[in-house]
Amino acid sequence: MNISIPKERRDSEYRVGLTPAGVQLLTQAGHTVFVEHKAGLGSGFSDHHYQKCGGQIVYSGEEVYGRADLLIKVVRPTEEEFDWLREGQTVLGFLHLASGRANKVEKLLQKNVTAIGFGIIQEDNGHLPVLAPLSQVAGRMVPQVAATLSQNNHGGNGFALGGIPGIPPADVVILGGGTVGCMAARTFLGMGATVHVLDSDLETLQKIDREFKGQISTMVAYDFNIKKVCSFADVVIGAIHQPGSRTPIIVTREMLKNLHSGSIVIDLSIDQGGCFETSRPTSHSNPTFIEENVIHYCVPNMTGVLGRTATHAMNNASWPFIKQIAQNGVEKAIAENSALKRGVYTHQGKIAHKALHNILTGRK
């Protein structure tokens, strides 16, 4: 199979679809791997690293797309990249088609592209094997972002998350007790913050209470409780996730008005539309805006600036699925692997994902 690794073209995206180690495994199995010039630099991999592992370097995006049966990406293609896609290709990546434009899905359908989302590959028990490690990276990163934004020189109120003797720590509210929420809670707790986690599932809250031995305050995510925590929170993290669907808005503008001036909102759900009514996508080059006197950080590719760590995490988790597609072809791989099948957005000119179909139908 001809497999291509394009260079990511979105703002401050330093990750790459596959490491040289992954390329070596593919070439040793008899596949041909094309790597776009400088695709791996942001993750610490030179063209020479890929060449040593059997990869062939190509010098334009159009060429790397044109040579591929299988494209391994990180994030959704740009408008230009959608035009480079050709008939019958397969593309893998965190595509987030539910929050994108309908015309992009139409291009996939017109070209009979099989689009598989890393974020919606889902095992029978509900586990998201490729998304989970990237969520852990995001959970580790979000306290760093919050600590920076709390500084006066970044527009914050000048508070330390952990406080010091005689001065109480910051109150951090995390909406969502999944993988990213739990990792963020663990890291904030380690920094000395007072942490509150809200989730709609009582079993999730019970698990968090056991795991953290009662050190974290837990609440059911009713509107009443969300409004209550907004009255005292210094930092609010949106960590809601619904695989393949747009994230519901659970924090309204009116709720947000309860936050004191200079508070921080970090919407980790923004790549699926966001869970705050006031959220809108930002970028690493211009990451924040002020709405209702609250600092908003809404960068969709948040972990894109941790290129090395995030790329290795993604490669480790996605490799079994890449291997199966390369060995067996996409048709057989989808038929034999139920987790991979759940990750299919489009296939043979049709929308294969129910949530995406419902969203696009609702827009018409």
* Residues carrying an active site annotation: 96, 271
Side by side, the strands of the sheet bearing 288-291 are: 217-220, 194-199, 171-175, 235-238, 264-267, 294-297, 288-291
What is the spatial distance between Cα 316 and Cα 130, in angstroms, rounded to a whole number? 8
What is the spatial distance between Cα 82 and Cα 27, in angstroms, rounded to a whole number? 27
DSSP letter, residue 289: E
CB 339 within 8 A of CB 109: no
What is the spatial distance between Cα 96 and Cα 251, in angstroms, rounded to a whole number? 22
* Structural Rg of the chain based on CA atoms: 21
b/e string for 103-127 if b means 16 or more Cβ within 10 A? ebbebbbebbbbbbbbbbbbeeeee
CB 134 within 8 A of CB 141: no
Query: Distances in Å between the alpha carbon of 350 and those of 98, 117, 215, 325?
Result: 15, 15, 48, 20
